Amino acid sequence: MRSLSRHAHRLQQVLGLFVIATAVAVYYQYDTVVTVWLSDFYPNATMGL
Number of Cβ atoms within 10 Å of the Cβ of 25: 14
pLDDT tens digits for range 1-49? 788 789 999 999 999 999 999 999 999 999 899 888 888 888 776 655 5
Residue 46 is predicted with a pLDDT of 64
**pLDDT at res. 49:** 54
Q: Return the closest-CA partner of residue 30 out of 18, 21, 39, 41.
A: 21
Residue ranges of domains in the chain: 2-39
25, 31 contact by CB (below 8 A) = yes
Cβ contact 39:47 at 8 Å: yes
Beta-carbon contacts of 4 under 8 Å, excluding residues fewer than 6 positions away, are 11
